[in-house]
Amino acid sequence: MTVIIPDFQLAAETQPGTVALKVNNLADQTKFYRDVIGLAVYEQNTMQSILGAHDSQQPLLILRRVVSPLPITPKTGLYHVAFLLPTRKDLGNALIHYLTEQAPLIGASDHGYSEALYLTDPEGNGIEVYHDKPRSQWDIRPDGEIPGITIEMDAQAVVDAADRQWSGFPAGTKVGHVHLKVANLAATEEFYTDVLGLSLKTNFGKSAKFFASGGYHHHIAGNIWTGRDLASSDPHDLGLAYYTFWTQNDQELARIKENLEKLQQPFEVLAGQQLALTDPSGIQLRFENMPNFK
């Protein structure tokens, strides 16, 4: 595979930041992500909860209550949000906690560049919790491709790496990537490479594509595993509301804005100078400077 490098490229430091989900039962979902998954609750009211890693001030997950949600039907949106833990020890602690809590684990895989646990929240949103292996163990091809594999994770070795001092997701945890259900792979590739400036890192057969800024294996993935040409989500559908990319400074945000204007790509400027736009599958995303929760 020849990796496509777009003319405009995001800075390597521009990476996924926060994922916002529309939920039906805010109290139960907040409790699940706090007590089972391992996030800390920064703020909670009757309509919204903001959560992130412990001993941190950066929001990773926003839960927003939807009034009169629509029946769940196959549409574009979130396949899973992937929380990246700093070390294998942290993943081992998480695995022991999930087994103790009888969490809804649905899989555990070794992807060559990472080891990952897969879960589903009470409203059907996918979750990945993973750590990256040392970069020296990644299969990085001369053309920049970083293909992954999917084999059974060595769960015992991950457990053996734990120190059994679970206290939730530690500082340094972040949203490593966001995996999306999209309507059309060709349109997705064109948007995420030509418009947003990510690099195509690998194709997964003819059913998924993986994109990243810098030399990462993937920050965004899109698949058509649940069907082609899916309808876009409605504001009253449960699931993904939007996700963000965090930029490091005003200069990078201005550079992204200039590129969008050059390409005549529709976008809005929201409060706090957030740039909001929609991908070809109707999925909303935003660019903003890396926030500190206040």
User: Would you state the pLDDT for residue 71?
Assistant: 84
Query: Would you say 202 and 148 are in contact if contact means Cβ atoms under 8 Å apart?
Result: yes
Q: Is residue 220 part of a domain?
A: yes
Query: Would you say 51 and 33 are in contact if contact means Cβ atoms under 8 Å apart?
Result: yes
What is each CA distance from 66 to 191, 235, 279, in whole angstroms? 29, 9, 22
Q: Is residue 4 part of a domain?
A: no
User: Would you state the pLDDT for residue 34?
Assistant: 98
Token digits for 144? Answer: 């920049």
User: Would you state the pLDDT for residue 22?
Assistant: 97
For residue 51, the one-letter residue type is L
pTM: 0.96
Token digits for 23? Answer: 């939920």
Q: Is residue 106 part of a domain?
A: yes
**195: Cβ contacts below 8 Å, ≥ 6 apart:** 259, 260, 263, 265
Query: Would you say 270 and 205 are in contact if contact means Cβ atoms under 8 Å apart?
Result: no
Name the 3-class secondary structure at 21.
strand
What is each CA distance from 270 to 11, 94, 243, 276, in whole angstroms? 22, 36, 14, 7
Q: Is residue 224 part of a domain?
A: yes
Q: Is residue 3 part of a domain?
A: no
Q: Is residue 2 part of a domain?
A: no
Token digits for 224? Answer: 């058509």
User: Position of tokens 């996030």?
Assistant: 39
Q: Which residues of 100-131 are buried (b: 16+ CB within 10 A; e: fewer)?
A: eeebebeebbbbbbbbbbbbebebebbbbbbb
Domain of 134: which CATH number?
3.10.180.10
User: Would you state the pLDDT for residue 294?
Assistant: 42
User: Would you state the pLDDT for residue 293?
Assistant: 54
Residue 291 and residue 282: Cα distance in Å, rounded?
A: 25
CA 265 to chain centre: 23
Residue 155 and residue 134: Cα distance in Å, rounded?
A: 18
User: Could you report the average pLDDT of every consecutive run of 10 residues in the chain (294 residues)?
Assistant: 76 97 98 98 97 94 93 93 98 98 97 98 97 97 94 98 97 97 97 96 93 97 95 94 96 96 96 94 97 62
User: Would you state the pLDDT for residue 291?
Assistant: 84
Query: Would you say 176 and 121 are in contact if contact means Cβ atoms under 8 Å apart?
Result: no
Domain of 247 in residue numbering reads as 15-289
Query: Would you say 54 and 64 are in contact if contact means Cβ atoms under 8 Å apart?
Result: no
**Domain count for the chain:** 1
